[in-house]
Amino acid sequence: MRTLALLPVLLALVACSGSEIVGLHIALQPDGSASITARALTESPTPSPAEVTSKGALWGKRAALVHSQGTVQKLADLRFGDDSLVIKPHLDANKVTVRIERGATVGWVTALVPDKQTRRDLALVYDPLGKTKEIGDTLRIELVLPATVNGSSVLPTARGVEAGREGNRAFLSIPVETAREKGDALSWDITWQ
């Protein structure tokens, strides 16, 4: 059976920077509401338009980068996965704290990426030449705040975890393997002007 890359997946994955194609983007409003975009990597059971309109091909694996958008009236009410990722806004202090649990089965990670072997299998759909060994290996959580971010830090330190900021955005990159390792929960603190 031949495995062929799907054009929509290829275009979506190429448009993303580096390996941070999966994660959460949250835009916090001054009133405490927020818009949320989740980007999840998954095996797709649904044939793509390329499959449906082609003739003579026997299609195999499918990869999909699924983007979902929504809103929440109060960011404090947002729960993700099995409450293993909790966001605590303190709007009166211009601060947000994100508690991120780590472990083999934490819900926030399994909601965004499959296991390592599946990510390796999907990499062959994305890159049939085999140069890309694994896709979706880093998770990115990004918060857009009402004003310029002046602090973005995470404790405790963990392998490959990086917090950063630019303008009114704060971001946290976490390797999937680090997120799935047993370890202390991460506390990511963001402050803005």
| pLDDT tens, per residue, the chain with 193 residues | 333 333 333 333 333 334 568 999 999 999 999 999 999 999 988 898 999 999 999 988 899 999 999 999 999 999 888 999 999 999 999 999 999 999 999 999 999 999 999 999 999 998 899 898 999 999 999 999 999 999 999 999 999 999 999 999 999 999 999 999 999 999 999 999 9
Burial class, 178, CB count within 10 angstroms (exposed 0-12 / middle 13-18 / buried 19+): middle
Over residues 25-34, the pLDDT tens digits come to 999 999 999 9
Q: How far apart are CA 43 and CA 62, in angstroms?
A: 6
* Helices and strands (H and E) in the chain: how many: 5, 11
What token pair was written down for 122?
Answer: 């999907």
Per-residue pLDDT, 44: 87
Burial 135-165 (b: 16+ CB within 10 A, else e): bbbbbbbbbbbeeebeebebeeebeebebeb
Taken in order 9, 47, 128, 177, the sign of the CA dihedral is positive
**DSSP β-ladder status, 22-28 and 138-144:** parallel
Considering only CA atoms, give the Rg of the chain: 18
Beta strands in 62-175 (DSSP E): 63-72, 79-80, 85-90, 95-100, 138-144, 149-155, 162-166, 169-175
Phi, psi of 164 (to 5 degrees): -150, 180
